[in-house]
Structures are given as C-alpha cells and as structure tokens.
C-alpha cells in the first residue's frame, strides 16, 4: 500500500516540475494571454533570455578582470612594500654595522689605558658625535662591569652594569646591541657595546656607545607610508623600539598577535577579522633583536585608478547597450516573422475550413433536397388528381370552390418547395461545363443590360471600369453570367436609392481575370460575412430572397476553377471579387 502511495507521489512530482517549466516557458498559457499579447510576451521572454545569455558572461568577465586587476595592484603594492622594507632593513643593518665597526676601530686603535683617560675619550666622543649625529654618549667599562670612563651629557661614570643582561651576554660574545631602553638617561636609546680582549692579561674591557632611538626612527620613517599605515621597529619580545602611530609609544608592548618571522623578510596578508592590518610586512634586522614592522591599513591598491574603472564601466555600458539593441532588433524580426507565418497559416486553415464547410453544406443541401423532392412529387400528383377529380365531377357542389382554392394553396406551396429544391440540386450538381471562349466584358455588359431597367428605376449610378484588351477566357458563359447576375442583383438590393455600384474588370495576374463589383450600400457585419456563401443564409427581408444566390454563385465559380471572395465594411459598402481562370480547368 505504501509503495503504491510512493509511486503515486512520484507520478505527482513529475508533472509539478513539468508544470513549473511550462509556466516558465509558456507564461501566456498560464496567464491566459492570447492573440497579439502572446507575441509581445514571447518577445519579452526571448529578449530576457538572450540578454541574460550575453550579459551574464560579460558581467562575469568584467567582475573577474576588475578583481584580477585589483589583485595585480595588490601584488604590485606588496612587492613595492617588500622592496622598501628590504631597503630600510639594509640601511639600518648598514648603519648598525658601521657603528660597530667604528667602535671596533676605536677599541683596536686605542688601548684601555688611553681610553681610560677622560680627555682622550671626550675627544673621541666629540669627533664621533660630529660625524654621527644621534650618538648620546660613550663609555669604557671594565671586566667587572663598572664604567670607568664616560663621556656624554650625563654623569654616569662609575655606573655598575655587571648585573645587566647585555653585560652578561657580551662576556660571551664580542659585541652586543641592546634593546631600546630608558636606562639612567631617561630618554629612549639603545646601546652598542664592543668587547676588547686583553689576552696577555687574560682580561677584557668594553667600549659602549649609546645612540638615540630617534636615529632608528628616522630610518623607519623613510618608508613611504600613507595616513593609516604604520612603520616601526619592535624587538623579539614584541616591545616597540620606535614610536608608532597606532600601536603605542616606545617600550610599549606591540599588541598584535603574530608569529615572529625567523630570518627572512615576509609580507603577510591578514583577513579583516584577524587583525587591524590588511598587509603586514616583517623584516628582521640581521644581528639585532629588532624587527622592522610595516602595518598597511589604507589599502591603496583598492583604489583602482579611475581611468581603468571608467573604461571598464564605459565598455560594459556600451556592450550592454549594443547587445540589448541587437537582441531586441533580432527578436523583433524573428517574432514578426513567426507572427506573419502564424497569420498565414491561420488564414490558410480558415480557407480550407471554409471550403470544406461549403462542400459539406452543399452535399447536405443536395441530399435534403433530393429526399424532399420525391415526396413533394407525390404530394403534387395527389393534389393534382384531387383537382382533376373535382373539376371533372358534379359532386360536392357546395364545397367545390373551397376545395379548389385549398388545392391551389397546396400547389403554391409545392411550387415554392420546388424552386428551392431545384436550385439546391443545381448548387451541388456536377454539371458538364461548356467551354466558351468569351470576352468577360461582353458577358458583363449583357448582364448589366438585363438589369438596366431596375438600375434606372432605382436611380442607381453605375460606374463601369472595364479594362480593354483583357485576355479572352475559356469558361461557361451562361453560368458565369448567372454569377454576375446574382452579385449585381445583391448590390442593387444593398444600395439606397441613388446609390453607386462600381463594376470593374482587370487582369489579376497571368492566370486570372478579376471582376470586382462594389457597392456603397449598408455593408455586411463581420460576423455575418463568413456565412454569406452558405445556402439559406440571407439578410434580406423574408420572402425576398431564398438565400441561395450566393451559395449557387460560389458553387459555380468553384466549378469553373475560379474563386470568389468578399470584403465589406458596415455603412461603407461591400465589394465582391470574382477571379476567373483564363484557361478553365474543370474541377
């Protein structure tokens, strides 16, 4: 049971999707849009689909190239930053190496004793400072960590460094570069110390110079930065060595969490959520505890040059405009063609339907007429016999006249029926068509002559426009004239007194001669127009027409291999067109 249900559901699912697609692709069915609007909706749909197909890739390409370009700019910017960091790093390294070299030079040029002399040291300090601004002071420290001689703005002679980290370290190494510190001097500075071994005494002494932090800062500031960017130096513990714009002052802790790079310069890109920097550059400075840090937050690369953006925008707009214009033009053409084809097809179908309908109506009429005709003949004979008997005998004297008039009434009705059945049988009968070679104009003129009295009597203007030198046609003259007679008769009935009837003949093409019969009468409403060739269809008042004239004409023209059609406008008039084949092919 459940399986059965599942199958049912499966069945129901499919049509749902199908219906959805149907609605999507045939919204006119869903919305009940018909006729003209159907083509409009088709146009809109095709334009939308086409536009989507052509514009989507365009937008994708534009978007991709936009971001691609942005990426290029970013990479470019990163490279530039790297290069600048590298440069600055090297400058700082060079600067420091130079300082160390000079201190080494001094330690190797002078003995401990010479430098212990305050005057000599002061002299060196003065010269040194002259050459290298930023030098704060200089001092000589002995192996016990006591500063024996000092030259500088502070009174630091005799200061004890033995318990300081740098001193312990320099005992092992030959030179040392300290972190920036405040020290006794209360200004941020760093110290470079160089150890000089005295091998013969088995001892050593140290020349130590302190340099203002500002010197370092000068290097860091050399990097070309923007408003929201920051460049500074930190040590390996993350303590700021130079002041920064946004990350605190000297000796404060750099709060950003990051893993310190080992040796090489590295550029890191952080997501927005991870930190305050978009691009961070870390350049460890060789032989020092320092790292040069660049924090870039202004993202200058994001500002794609206006020219590029404008061009991209311009090209996109032009492409969109063109593709939409071309699509609309194409769709317009295609849909109009479809519309025309549809209309032609509909017209052809209507034509076929009409012809088929006329044929079956003809058959039906003939069948009915035939079936009616035989009993009618019997009634006729019986009534005739009654009349004969009444006339021949002397019986029923008192009712004789009454009966005779009744019988005469029966004859009248039989005659009316006979007219109808005979004409109907004529409508459908297969006739042997005579082949007369005739001049259409002559045939027309004869018909008009026949109707002249009526035309003059009703004061109708007759306008003849018969082309001369029309090809002679091979057709059945009598029947053709019957057709003209019917149509012109109708025209006469249709116009008011003093109306106008225009009859013209001309070559329609190389196969047909056309006769048009136009009146300015009351016209035929659209809904009635399609019925006028049907038998018994009449708009004339009762008793005036049988409703067979046009249906018979239709049958005749059909048999002659021609065609008949009508155009009419209410209150303006009606025009009948009869196309007669020049060489009749009997149908």
CB of 478 to another protein, least distance (A): 13
Of 373 and 482, which CB lies nearer to another protein in the complex structure?
A: 373
Q: Which stretch binds another protein (CB under 8 A): 16-24, 366-374, 397-405, 521-529?
A: 366-374
Answer whether 232's CB lies under 8 Å from 243's CB. Answer: yes
Q: Which is nearer to another protein, 369 or 550 (CB)?
A: 369
**Interior/surface letters 270-281, b for 16+ CB within 10 angstroms, e for the rest:** eeeeebebbbbb
Minimum Å distance from CB 363 to another protein?
12
Q: Is 448 in the site for another protein (CB under 8 A)?
A: no
Closest CB to another protein among residues 406, 470: 406
Applying CB under 8 A, which part among 40-48, 89-97, 425-433, 517-525 lies near another protein?
A: 425-433
**Which of 431, 531, 549 lies closest to 490 in space, CA to CA?**
549
Q: How long is the chain? A: 587
Q: Which residues contact 144 (CB under 8 A, 6 or more apart)?
A: 162
- Cβ–Cβ under 8 Å, residues 259 and 249: no
Q: Please, which residue, 249 or 415, has the CB nearer to another protein? A: 415
Q: Which is nearer to another protein, 143 or 379 (CB)?
A: 379
The answer to whether the Cα torsion of 361, 366, 371, 377 is positive or negative is: positive
Query: What are the residue ranges of helices labelled H in 116-212?
Result: 118-131, 165-172
Alpha carbons 252 and 242: distance in angstroms, whole number = 10
Sheet of 135-142, strands arranged across = 147-151, 135-142, 203-212, 189-198, 175-177
* Residue 389 in the binding site for another protein (CB under 8 A): yes
366 touches another protein by CB under 8 A: yes
Query: Buried b vs exposed e over 438-459: b needs ≥16 C-beta within 10 Å?
Result: bbbbebbeebbeebeeebeeee
Work out whether 431 is an interface residue with another protein (CB under 8 A).
Answer: yes
> Residues 212-241 vs another protein: string with x where CB under 8 A?
------------------------------
Number of residues that bind another protein (CB under 8 A): 28
Q: Mark the segment that binds another protein (CB under 8 A) among 363-371, 477-485, 495-503, 531-539.
A: 363-371
Q: Checking DSSP bridges between strand 175-177 and strand 512-519, what pairing results, if any?
A: unpaired
Asked if residue 374 binds another protein (CB under 8 A), the reply is yes
- Residues 289-348 interacting with another protein (rule: CB under 8 A): none
Stretch touching another protein by CB under 8 A, among 33-41, 139-147, 383-391, 451-459: 383-391
Report if residue 404 touches another protein, rule: CB under 8 A. no
Applying CB under 8 A, does 575 fall inside the site for another protein?
no
Half-sphere exposure of 167 (CA within 13 A, CB side): 17
- CA dist 470 and 499 (Å) reads 28
CB 212 within 8 A of CB 189: yes
317 versus 385: smaller Cβ distance to another protein = 385
Percent of residues in the chain assigned helix, strand, coil, to nearest 5: 55, 20, 30
Closest CA to 214 of 191, 243, 236: 243
**Binding status of residue 382 toward another protein by CB under 8 A:** yes
Interface with another protein (CB under 8 A), residue from 145, 238, 261, 384: 384
Pairing of strands 512-519, 500-507: antiparallel
Beta bridge mates, 141: 147, 206
Regarding 363 and contact with another protein (CB under 8 A), the answer is no
435 counts as binding another protein under rule CB under 8 A: no
Residue 430 binds another protein, judged by CB under 8 A: yes
- 373 near another protein, rule: CB under 8 A: yes
Instruction: Indicate which single residue of 88, 107, 176, 428 sits in contact with another protein (rule: CB under 8 A).
Output: 428
DSSP 546: -
Minimum distance between the CB of residue 415 and another protein, rounded to whole angstroms?
Answer: 9
Of 185 and 418, nearer to another protein (C-beta) is 418
Residues that bind another protein (CB under 8 A): 366, 369-370, 373-374, 376-382, 384-385, 388-389, 392, 414, 417-418, 422, 425-426, 428-432
């Amino acid at each position: 049971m459940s399986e059965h249900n599942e199958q049912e559901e499966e069945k129901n699912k499919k049509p749902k999707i199908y219906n959805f697609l149907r609605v999507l692709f045939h919204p006119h069915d869903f919305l009940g849009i018909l006729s003209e609007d159907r083509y409009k909706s088709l146009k809109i749909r095709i334009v939308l689909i086409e536009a989507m197909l052509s514009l989507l890739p365009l937008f994708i390409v534009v978007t991709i190239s936009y971001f691609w370009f942005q990426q290029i700019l970013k990479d470019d910017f990163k490279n530039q930053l790297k290069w600048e960091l590298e440069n600055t790093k090297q400058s700082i390294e060079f600067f420091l190496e130079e300082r160390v070299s000079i201190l080494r030079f001094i330690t190797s040029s002078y003995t401990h004793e010479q430098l212990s002399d305050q005057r000599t040291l002061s002299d060196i300090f003065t010269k040194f400072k002259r050459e290298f601004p930023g030098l704060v002071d200089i001092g000589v420290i002995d192996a016990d960590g006591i500063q024996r001689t000092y030259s500088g703005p502070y009174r630091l002679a005799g200061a004890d460094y033995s318990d300081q980290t740098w001193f312990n370290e320099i005992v092992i190494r030959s030179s040392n570069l300290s972190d920036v510190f405040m020290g006794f001097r209360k200004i941020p500075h760093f110290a470079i110390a160089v150890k000089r071994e005295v091998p013969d005494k088995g001892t050593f002494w140290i020349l130590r110079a302190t340099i203002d932090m500002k010197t370092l800062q000068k290097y860091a500031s050399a990097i070309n930065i923007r408003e929201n960017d920051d460049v500074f130096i930190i040590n390996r513990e993350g303590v700021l060595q130079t002041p920064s714009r946004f990350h605190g002052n000297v000796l404060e802790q750099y709060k950003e969490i990051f893993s310190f790079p080992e040796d090489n310069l590295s550029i890191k890109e952080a997501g927005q959520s991870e930190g305050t920097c978009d691009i961070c550059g870390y350049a460890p400075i060789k032989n020092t505890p320092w790292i040069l840090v660049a924090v870039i937050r202004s993202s200058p690369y994001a500002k794609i040059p206006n020219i590029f953006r404008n061009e991209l925008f311009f090209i996109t707009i032009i492409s969109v405009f063109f593709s939409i214009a071309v699509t609309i033009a194409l769709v317009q053409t295609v849909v109009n063609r479809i519309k025309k084809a549809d209309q032609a097809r509909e017209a052809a179908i209507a034509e076929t339907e009409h012809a088929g309908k006329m044929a079956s109506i003809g058959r039906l009429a003939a069948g009915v007429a035939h079936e009616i005709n035989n009993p009618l003949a019997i009634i006729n004979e019986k009534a005739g016999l009654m009349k004969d008997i009444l006339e021949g005998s002397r019986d029923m004297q008192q009712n004789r006249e009454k009966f005779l008039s009744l019988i005469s009434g029966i004859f009248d009705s039989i005659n009316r029926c006979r007219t109808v059945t005979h004409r109907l049988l004529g409508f459908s009968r297969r006739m042997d068509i005579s082949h007369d070679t005739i001049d259409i104009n002559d045939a027309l003129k004869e018909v008009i002559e026949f109707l002249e009295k009526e035309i003059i009597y009703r004061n109708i203007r007759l306008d003849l426009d018969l082309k001369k030198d029309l090809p002679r046609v091979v057709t059945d003259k009598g029947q053709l004239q019957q057709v003209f007679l019917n149509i012109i008769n109708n025209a006469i009935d249709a116009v008011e007194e003093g109306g106008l009837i225009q009859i013209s003949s001309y070559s329609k093409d190389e196969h047909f001669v056309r006769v048009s019969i136009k009146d300015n009468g009351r016209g035929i409403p659209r809904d009635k127009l399609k019925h006028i060739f049907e038998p018994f269809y009449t708009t004339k008042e009762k008793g005036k027409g049988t409703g067979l004239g046009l249906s018979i004409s239709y049958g005749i023209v059909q048999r002659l291999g021609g065609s008949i059609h009508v155009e009419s406008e209410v209150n303006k008039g009606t025009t009948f067109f009869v196309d007669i084949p020049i060489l009749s092919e009997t149908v």
